Structure 1
Amino acid sequence: MTRAPAPRGRPATEAPTVRTVLGDIPGDRLGVCDSHDHLFLRTPRLPGEELADSAAAERQLREFAAHGGGGLVQWTPYGMGRHMGALAELSRRTGVHVVAATGLHQAVHYDRQPPADLAELFVEEVSHGVRGAVCGQGPRAGLIKVAGDFHGIGPHARRTMTAAAEAHHATGAPVAVHLELGTGAVEVLDLLCDRLEVPPSSVLLGHLGRCPDVRMQREAARSGAWLVFDGPSRAHHATDWRLLDSLAELAEHGYADRLLLGGDTVTATARDETGVPHVTRALRPRIVRELGAEPARRIFVDNPARAFAAHWKH
C-alpha cells in the first residue's frame, strides 16, 4: 500500500499538543496512559449495561491514578452518552488528563438518525466544544472515533470515515477506528490514508488483538498507523491470552514505537469485574515483567504522547 505523505503543519518549532477536556497540553504531561477506555457509554446493543454513574467513574479514575495512571482516552463518540461535562469535572477532581471523542460508531448503536452533515459536527466538537452544555459549549473533543464493518467498509462506515477525514484535514484531530473483531485494517488504511489522504500517523487502529493475524498486524504497523490493543478489561475476552505474545512479536520486529494499550471497558459488568484500573494495576506491571521496562514505557507513555498530539488548526 502506498501511503499519502503527511500534509504541512505548523512550524517545526511549535510542538503538537494533546486536546483534553480541560484544554490543550504537551503530550508528555499525559504520563502513563490508558489509550482506549470508557467512563461513560450507552448503546441499545447493551441494555442494562450502561456506564452512566459519575461516582463509579470517579472511583475508577482514582484507583487508576493510585496505580500510576496519568491519562485516559475515552473513545465514546457522539450520541452514545459521553457525559462531556462530567468528564471535565472528573478530570479536575482526580487530576487525570482525559481526552474525549467526537465521531460516530456503527449504525446499530443508535436508535435515531445522526445529523446530516457529519463533518460539520465533528469539526465543531473538536474546534469549539460539544453542543448542549448548560453554559454554552462544552469541552472540546480531541479525537474522532469511527468504525469499520466485519472484513470491510459498508456505506455507513464509508460515510463516517469520509466525514472524519474531512474533519481531520480541517482540525488536525487524530482518527481512531473500531475494527470489527480486529478485521478490515487494510481496507480502512486504503480508504483513510490512500484515498482520503489522512496521514497514517494520525490513524489509530483499534482492536487489532481480536484478530490475531500477525501478518496483518505487521502490515498495519508498516503503514505507520498506530496499533491499539484493547479489550483486556472485558472479562474472559477470547483473545486475551494472545495479548502479550502479539505485543512481543511486534516489538521484536521493530514496531514497539507503534503500539498502544487500553482497557475498553464498555459494560457495567466489566467495570465491576476489572474496569479501568486493571490497565495500571495488573497489565502494566505484567508487561514490564515480561517485555521489559523500555517497551512498557513506549506503550504506556511515549507512544500515547505522540499518537494523541496534533498541530491543531482550530
Structure 2
Amino acid sequence: MSPSPAGGPAAPAIRTVLGDISPADLGICDAHDHLFLRSPQLPGQELDDAGAAAAELSAFRAAGGAAVIQWTPYGMGRGAAELPRLARESGVRIVAATGLHQAAHYTPEVLERVRADLAGLFVSELTEGIGGTGIRAGMIKVAGGFHGLDRHARHTMAAAAEAQRATGAVIGVHLELGTGAPDVLDLLCGEWGVPPDRVILGHLNRSPDLVVHRKAAEAGAYLAFDGPSRAHHATDWRLPDALAALADAGHGERILLGGDTTTAGARSVNGGPGMPHLLGRHRERLELALGAGLVTRFLTANPARAFGADWPRAPYTDRGPGRAPTA
C-alpha cells in the first residue's frame, strides 16, 4: 500500500494479523467465520485445535479463498498467537476481532474485569495488539439479543461506538437469530453517531424479513448473510430470493457472505461443510440464481470496502481509570 501524502489522511487499509494491506489486495473473502472459538454455550465443540484450523484454511485456499475475517471476540479463545503462523503457512489473509459477545458467553468474573474500560480495551487491541502478542485486531465484534438489546448489549455497543470513533474500525454485530437490526442501528448510528457504513449486521439469513433487510441497506449498513454451514436453519433456502431482492433494489454493494463455522463438527476436516462450502456448493447455488459477477462482488469488492479503515496515527488517550486486561 502506498503511503499517504505528508500531512494528508491515511489511505484506507485492512488490518490483518500480518499487518495492514490495501483493500485491493484482500481477494475472495469469507467475511464471517471462526478458526478458534470457545464458549460455555458450546461444551465439547470448542474450536481449539491449531492443526484442524490449518487444515481448514488449506481446504479454503484450495477452493479459491484468499481471506478470512475471524469474528471471535475477547475472552472466547481467539488463538491470536497462532493466527500469524496460520496466515503465513496457508497464504490466506486473516483479520482478527476485538469486542465482546453476549454476557452468557462469559463468567461474571471476566465481565467484571473488563467492564470499567471496555472502550480502552477495544482500542488497545485494534492499535497496539492483543495481549502481549503485538497482533492487532481489525474489527470490533458485539452482539444483540433476540428482538431486543439488554443492558449488557447497550454497554458493549456504547464502548464499541467509542472505539470506532477513535480508530475507524468497522463494527460487526451478531444479531440473535437475525433479529433486532432496527434497534441496533437506532442505538449505534442514531444515539451513538456511528456512520452506518461502519456497521455490519450479521446473520440476516436467519430472519428472511425482506422489509428489514431493505431498510437496513437503505440506512447504509452492510448486511452479512453468514451461515450456510448451519444446516438446521430452515430459512437457508430463501437466501437467493433475499439477495436478489436487495440487488434488484440497488443494494448489491451492501451484501457480504460468510461461513460462520462455530463448532468442531461443522468443520470440513471433521466431515462438515466448513469454510470450503462457502466457495463450493453455496457459491454455485447463488451464481445460478444471481449471476457469477454479482456473487463475485459479494465475495471481493464488498468486503474490501467494508473492512477497510482509515486507521489513526496518533495514540488513543481518552481512557477510563485503567486499561482492562486482554485475553
Q: TM-score, normalised by structure 2?
A: 0.89
The reply to whether residue 100 of structure 1 matches residue 69 of structure 2 is: no
Deviation at 1:11, TM superposition (A): 4.5
Flag as ranges the 4+ runs of structure 1 deviating above 4 A: none
Percent of paired sites with the same residue:
58
- 1:126-152 CA-partner distances (Å, limit 9, x unpaired): 000001x4xxx3310000000011111
Opposite residue 308 of structure 2, the aligned amino acid is: A
- The answer (yes or no) to whether the contact 1:165–1:192 under 8 Å persists in 2 is yes
1:4-15 alignment, distance < 5 Å: 11=8, 14-15=10-11
- 1:68-116 CA-partner distances (Å, limit 9, x unpaired): 1011000000000000111111001011000000000000001233212
SS in 1 for 2:312: coil
- 1:237 corresponds to which residue? 233
Cα RMSD of the aligned pairs, angstroms, is: 1.2
Deviation at 1:290, TM superposition (A): 2.2
- 1:7 corresponds to which residue? none
SS in 1 for 2:77: coil
- 2:130 corresponds to which residue? 130
- 1:30 corresponds to which residue? 26
- Judged with a 3 Å threshold, the aligned counterparts in structure 2 of structure 1 residues 295 and 102 are, in CA distance, closer, same or farther, namely same
Deviation at 1:15, TM superposition (A): 2.6
CA distance in 1, matches of 2:169, 2:199: 10
- 1:4 corresponds to which residue? none
Opposite residue 126 of structure 2, the aligned amino acid is: V
Which runs of 5 or more structure 1 residues have no equivalent in the other structure?
1-9
The reply to whether residue 113 of structure 1 matches residue 75 of structure 2 is: no
CA distance in 1, matches of 2:155, 2:27: 35
- 1:166 corresponds to which residue? 162
Selected match of 2:202 from 202, 206, 215: 206
Opposite residue 157 of structure 2, the aligned amino acid is: M
Deviation at 1:29, TM superposition (A): 1.0
- 1:145 corresponds to which residue? 141
- 2:316 corresponds to which residue? none
SS in 2 for 1:305: helix
SS in 2 for 1:233: coil
Aligned residue pairs, count = 300
- The answer (yes or no) to whether the contact 1:171–1:313 under 8 Å persists in 2 is yes
Deviation at 1:194, TM superposition (A): 1.2
The reply to whether residue 301 of structure 1 matches residue 300 of structure 2 is: yes
CA distance in 2, matches of 1:289, 1:223: 29
Opposite residue 282 of structure 1, the aligned amino acid is: R
Structure 1 stretch displaced more, 14-23 or 219-228: 14-23
Q: TM-score, normalised by structure 1?
A: 0.93
- Judged with a 3 Å threshold, the aligned counterparts in structure 2 of structure 1 residues 96 and 167 are, in CA distance, closer, same or farther, namely same
CA distance in 2, matches of 1:68, 1:288: 15
SS in 1 for 2:36: coil
CA distance in 2, matches of 1:122, 1:88: 20
- 2:312 corresponds to which residue? 313
Structure 1 stretch displaced more, 284-293 or 148-157: 284-293
Which runs of 5 or more structure 2 residues have no equivalent in the other structure?
1-6, 314-327
- The answer (yes or no) to whether the contact 1:40–1:82 under 8 Å persists in 2 is yes
Opposite residue 128 of structure 1, the aligned amino acid is: E
Deviation at 1:168, TM superposition (A): 0.6
CA distance in 2, matches of 1:100, 1:221: 25
Opposite residue 195 of structure 1, the aligned amino acid is: E
- 1:204-262 CA-partner distances (Å, limit 9, x unpaired): 00011111110011000101000000111123322211111111111111111000010
SS in 1 for 2:52: helix
CA distance in 2, matches of 1:252, 1:122: 37
Opposite residue 39 of structure 2, the aligned amino acid is: T
CA distance in 1, matches of 2:256, 2:159: 25
Opposite residue 46 of structure 1, the aligned amino acid is: L
The reply to whether residue 259 of structure 1 matches residue 255 of structure 2 is: yes
CA distance in 1, matches of 2:89, 2:231: 28
Structure 1 stretch displaced more, 39-48 or 231-240: 231-240
- 1:157-198 CA-partner distances (Å, limit 9, x unpaired): 000000000001111110000011111111110110111111
SS in 1 for 2:59: helix
Deviation at 1:313, TM superposition (A): 1.0
